[in-house]
């Protein structure tokens, strides 16, 4: 089974858990409720809430919960692998599911079913009813990674997989961006991406950069033995052509280009090449990279902070900004190693580091690999940053407006169910 590199590691290294028990569907949410609207700064555009993806370590079952921005559970079992009998799913959710990194439109929750299914599913957050599904496999294992809406009628889907026998049907090459019609739920066109010698592009996550959309290329060979330098490609949404191709020499295996609050730029966390146990093969290729945007809309590298200067360990590719001046980073640690994932707050101006949390070790006292999943902050919308802690089956909460930062009470999204939080993503675009 082939997934994206970072998530192949996740499948192998995430701690084992018991087989999940059934969980009764809890339906949609009241989009006008005060807990969803919250007490927000009127000058800041805020998503409606957070979609929390839960699953088991064997990638057999998935469940999506909806929470408020502070982590308060609104619907614990909004949609799940067991939803097909009641929700009219043509393609039932598998255990290999991710959520869009950019919030879709307010009337949509979108679920990306990857290897083995290759389907995009749209769900109504108010009713939890499936609005439609679209297969993006086009005859092969396309392994879709992310989804972003260009406007009210079009979206992009990044496809990580390569078709070894293309030209059998339309849009079946792979390692590309699909342009899809979100009204008729069909594929409109495909955008080819640049190769680097024999290394395929491996497009992963999307980010809005001004009026354009940026996608991060992970560049990994078919046999996973060679990891190329990271690359960021910006797409013009009108012409659907490449507006910028920015190569980042010396860093690899990078995550999403994260917007910095108050439009002060972007950041990218890069892990570097890993072995099969999640150990670093080259720490020098792990760093936090900060970017400016020039008057032409082009991204330009501003600062590169090596992981060795932050923590002495590689950084996970998932991170977020708690504020304009503070980045929340997660360390990458190997399965069975002597260390555990840590959540760190990095003050960007001084490059000082404050530890916020450490994952618990396994029963044998060794590290559990990817015990911490994604971290999500909503600056200006909520003072609370959320962390998916699969080691404890909790969503942990931190208030970084306090000095020092305070850990708040954690939330068990689905108590008694053997599904663990893996990803946190906003839903309901402002």
pLDDT tens-digit readout, 120-174: 999 999 999 999 999 999 999 999 999 999 999 999 999 999 999 999 999 999 9
Q: Which of 26-40, 87-101, 283-297 is predicted least confidently?
A: 26-40
Give the model's pLDDT for residue 18.
37
Q: Return the structure tokens found at 324.
A: 């304009």
Say if 209 falls within a structural domain: yes
Residues paired with residue 357 on neighbouring β-strands, in sequence order: 343
pLDDT given at position 42? 56
Asked if the structure places residue 40 within a domain, the reply is no
- The residue behind tokens 């039932």 is 92
Backbone angles phi, psi at 321, to 5 degrees: -95, 125
Is residue 244 one of the residues assigned to a domain?
A: yes
Query: For 221-250, what is each residue's pLDDT tens digit?
Result: 988 889 999 999 999 999 999 999 999 999
Give the separation between CA 210 and CA 7, rounded to whole angstroms.
29
Q: If you average pLDDT over every residue of the chain, what do you get?
A: 91
Helix (H, G, I), strand (E, B) or coil at 96: coil
- Cβ pair 286, 342 in contact under 8 A: no
The pLDDT of residue 23 is 58
Whether pTM exceeds 0.85: yes
Q: What is the CATH number of the domain that holds 214?
A: 2.130.10.10
Q: For residue 38, is it within any domain?
A: no
Residues contacting residue 314 through CB under 8 Å, at least 6 positions apart: 271, 272, 274, 280, 283, 286, 307, 331, 332
CA distances in angstroms from 21 to 62, 81, 315, listed in the order given: 11, 11, 33
CB atoms < 10 A from the CB of 239, how many? 8
Taken as a whole, the chain contains a residue count of 430
Contact at 8 Å (CB) between 300 and 257? no
Helix/strand/coil for 365: coil
Number of CB atoms found within 10 A of residue 127's CB: 12
Would the pLDDT of 282 be above 90? yes
Considering the domain boundaries, does residue 49 fall inside one? no
Residue 310 maps to a domain:
yes
Q: How many domains would you assign to the chain?
A: 1
First to last CA, the chain: 37
Is 45 within a domain? Answer: no
**Residue 47 within a domain:** no
pLDDT of residue 416: 74
196 DSSP assignment: B
Domain containing residue 94:
5-31+55-427
| pLDDT of amino acid 17 | 37
Mean pLDDT of 382-392: 96
Whole-number pLDDT of residue 83: 77
Task: State the pLDDT at residue 39.
Answer: 53
pLDDT digit string, tens, across residues 180-196: 999 999 999 999 999 99
CA dist 7 and 14 (Å) reads: 10
DSSP structural state of residue 289? E
């Amino acid at each position: 089974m082939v997934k994206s590199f970072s998530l192949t590691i996740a499948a192998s290294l995430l701690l084992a858990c018991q087989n999940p028990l059934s969980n009764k569907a809890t339906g949609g949410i009241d989009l006008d409720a005060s807990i969803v609207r919250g007490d927000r700064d009127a000058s800041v555009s805020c998503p409606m809430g957070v979609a929390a993806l839960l699953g088991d370590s064997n990638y057999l079952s998935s469940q999506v919960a909806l929470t408020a921005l502070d982590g308060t559970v609104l619907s614990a079992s909004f949609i799940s692998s067991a939803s097909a009998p009641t929700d009219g799913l043509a393609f039932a959710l598998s255990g290999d599911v991710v959520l869009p990194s950019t919030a879709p439109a307010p009337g949509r929750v979108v679920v990306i079913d990857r290897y083995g299914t290759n389907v995009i599913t749209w769900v109504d957050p108010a009713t939890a009813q499936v609005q439609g599904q679209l297969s993006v496999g086009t005859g092969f294992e396309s392994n879709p990674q992310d989804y972003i809406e260009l406007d009210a009628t079009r979206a992009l889907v990044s496809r990580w997989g390569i078709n070894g026998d293309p030209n059998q049907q339309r849009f079946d090459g792979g390692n590309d961006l699909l342009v899809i019609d979100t009204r008729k739920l069909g594929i409109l066109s495909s955008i080819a991406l640049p190769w680097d010698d024999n290394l395929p592009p491996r497009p992963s996550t999307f980010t809005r950069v001004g009026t354009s959309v940026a996608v991060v290329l992970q560049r990994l060979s078919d046999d996973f033995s060679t990891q190329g330098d990271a690359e960021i490609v910006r797409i013009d949404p009108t012409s659907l052509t490449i507006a910028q191709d920015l190569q980042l020499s010396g860093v690899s295996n990078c995550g999403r280009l994260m917007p910095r609050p108050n439009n002060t730029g972007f950041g990218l966390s890069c892990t570097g090449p890993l072995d099969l146990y999640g150990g670093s093969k080259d720490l020098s290729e792990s760093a936090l990279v900060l970017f400016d945007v020039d008057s032409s809309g082009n991204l330009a590298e501003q600062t590169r902070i090596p992981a060795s200067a932050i923590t002495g360990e590689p950084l996970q590719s998932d991170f977020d900004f708690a504020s304009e001046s503070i980045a929340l980073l997660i360390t990458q640690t190997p399965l069975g190693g002597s260390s555990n994932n840590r959540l760190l707050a990095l003050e960007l101006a001084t490059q000082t580091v404050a530890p916020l949390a450490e994952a618990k070790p396994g029963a044998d006292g060794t590290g559990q690999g990817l015990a911490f999943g994604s971290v999500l902050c909503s600056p200006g919308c909520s003072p609370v940053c959320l962390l998916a802690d699969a080691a404890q089956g909790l969503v942990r909460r931190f208030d970084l407006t306090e000095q020092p930062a305070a850990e708040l009470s954690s939330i068990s999204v689905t108590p008694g169910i053997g599904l663990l939080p893996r990803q946190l993503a906003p839903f309901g675009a402002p």
